[in-house]
Amino acid sequence: MENSKPNSKKKIVVFASGNGTNAVNIYHYFREHDDVEVSHIVSNNKKSRVLRRAHDLGIKCIHFDKEDLYDSTNLLEVIQEINPDVIALAGFLLKIPEPFLRAFPNQIVNIHPSLLPDYGGDGMYGERVFKRILKDKRTESGITIHYVSENYDEGEIIAQHKVELEGNEDLNSLEEKIHGLEYEHYPKEIEKLLY
């Protein structure tokens, strides 16, 4: 994609529901980038830390209600107006509906804190994933970056990154390892999609 117009950077819109450390990490990665920017952070959760973090950093924020996503074209129209090159889900817990997928084919990506298809699917997010991995005493885990499809965690895989787990791994140490992988790789994988 050629991008020769001044002040017309490629745009990433990040969707997040909770804490927002990945959203902020992606923002920082592209902050000094010549022709890519995180233009907006979008959340369904008015009280989320991600919206507070985005607000504090001066990033444009959009809050929406479930109805704006599922019962109307309100949110879709707002996002189409922004015209992002990539929509990156980062701890976004709602399913992306069909009209969005049609409007942004191969442009919506997600990160998941396990090596899919293991520990994926409805209800598998954040700590719940880690608790299952620890319970199963896995010796390896990792992250998956994938295209978003109509089913949770089933879209085509773009990249996976692995990490070894120790016998004495606990929730904190596992979370730290996985977040480390996410912060290192998610922005770079998004960047690759833009060129």
Q: Can you give the binding site for ligand GAR, defined by CB under 6 A?
A: 16, 18-23, 90-91, 111-113, 125-126, 129, 182
Report the residue number, 2 or 56, with the smaller CB distance to ligand GAR: 56
To the nearest whole angstrom, how small is the minimum distance from the Cβ of residue 194 to ligand GAR? 20
Tokens 């833009």 belong to residue: 194
Write the DSSP symbol of residue 9: -
To the nearest whole angstrom, how small is the minimum distance from the Cβ of residue 103 to ligand GAR? 22
Report the residue number, 84 or 120, with the smaller CB distance to ligand GAR: 120
Report the residue number, 97 or 126, with the smaller CB distance to ligand GAR: 126
Return the structure tokens found at 13.
């819109």
Establish how many alpha carbons lie within 13 A of residue 24's alpha carbon, considering only the half-sphere containing its beta carbon: 15
To the nearest whole angstrom, how small is the minimum distance from the Cβ of residue 83 to ligand GAR? 24
| C-alpha to C-alpha distance for 63 and 65, rounded to whole angstroms | 7
- Find out whether 81 and 11 touch, Cβ atoms under 8 Å: no
| DSSP class per residue in 39-63 | EEEEES-TT-HHHHHHHHHT-EEEE
Q: Active site residue: 112, 146, 161, 179, which one?
A: 112
Is 112 an active-site residue?
A: yes
To the nearest whole angstrom, how small is the minimum distance from the Cβ of residue 136 to ligand GAR? 17
Instruction: Determine the residue with CB nearest ligand GAR.
Output: 91
Report the residue number, 3 or 126, with the smaller CB distance to ligand GAR: 126
Return the structure tokens found at 148.
């978003």
From residue 35, alpha-carbon distances to 8, 19, 58, 101, 195 in Å are 7, 27, 19, 25, 11
Catalytic residues: 112
